[in-house]
Amino acid sequence: MNYWYVARPNELFLDIDNVSKYINHARSRLQGAIECKKLDVAYIMQRSSRNSQHMHVIISLNSLMDDIEASIWEVMLHGDIYRGCCSVMRGIRRVKSPRVLISPYNHFGTIDYPPDGSVEAIVRMRDDLCDCKSKHDMKTMESCPAAKRLRGEFRAVGFFGKPSKNPCTIWPEL
């Protein structure tokens, strides 16, 4: 099962590939953004993806931001760059649900320890689901029921296409 999370205006979604290589730099960038007062983070929730070297992160903010700015922050914090560029394209084109995270988990959660000494469990439930068997590339998005519900006719907008295996004939070799 695939669980779909649609980014809210106070959320950043990170899909970090090669966690062992990038997580420390992602944390360093986040801490720098907090110290420079560029991001006001409320809490962070994270889960492994299907691949143990990939991680899905939801950063909840104490402020709102538009989809384009959020997509740029997601790339800066080491979210998948292709995914981020697709999100920017969908945002520019005003596609509904431009930023999504597709996870194998029905929910994300964390524990918050407010200054008053209380303890609060925070749970972020999924927004939709599908049972597609393959990766959500442009072809799968055309028939995915969750993509249809969340993005309608624009469900595959923002994809750039795969690199060609053919030699580039328009750009000469060096």
Domain for residue 170, yes or no? no
pLDDT tens sequence for the chain (174 residues): 999 999 999 999 999 998 889 899 999 999 999 999 999 999 999 998 888 888 999 999 999 999 999 999 999 999 999 999 999 999 998 999 999 999 999 999 988 777 788 888 899 999 999 999 998 988 899 999 999 999 999 887 766 777 889 988 899 888
Residues 129, 4 contacting (CB under 8 angstroms): yes
Q: For residue 160, is it within any domain?
A: no
Q: Which of 111, 7, 115 is nearest to 64 (CA)?
A: 7
Q: State the Cα–Cα distance between residues 136 and 49, nearest whole angstrom.
A: 14
| 162 lies in some domain | no
Residue 127 domain-assigned (yes or no): yes
Q: How many domains does the chain divide into? A: 1
Is residue 164 in some structural domain? no
In a domain, 172, yes or no: no
Q: Which domain holds residue 112?
A: 2-154
